[in-house]
Amino acid sequence: MSRHRLILNPIACEAHGMCAELLPERITLDEWGYPMVDDEPLPAALLGHARRAAAACPTFALLLERDRGRS
């Protein structure tokens, strides 16, 4: 398990949906096209995909954060 997790800024998100295509393991889209993001720590195997998903967001709404020890 890596110490990274995905965080979504719902104000910035405009439902482009790229993230769900790049990381379907952790992100699905709701009926309006907005991502539903699993915020559990990411397994190391998904870290690269998560990075690409965050980088692909046109509005920088998807953030990959290093866990700061919060529960």
CA distance 15 to 18: 8
Under the binding rule (CB under 8 A), the answer on residue 15 touching other proteins is: yes
C-beta of 39: minimal distance to other proteins in Å? 10
Cβ distance to other proteins smaller for residue 12 or 55: 12
User: Cα 64 to the chain's mean position, in Å?
Assistant: 7
Minimum Å distance from CB 14 to other proteins? Answer: 8
- Tell me which DSSP letter residue 24 carries: T
| Neighbour tally for 22: CB within 10 Å | 19
Stretch that binds other proteins, among 3-11, 17-25, 46-54 (CB under 8 A): 3-11
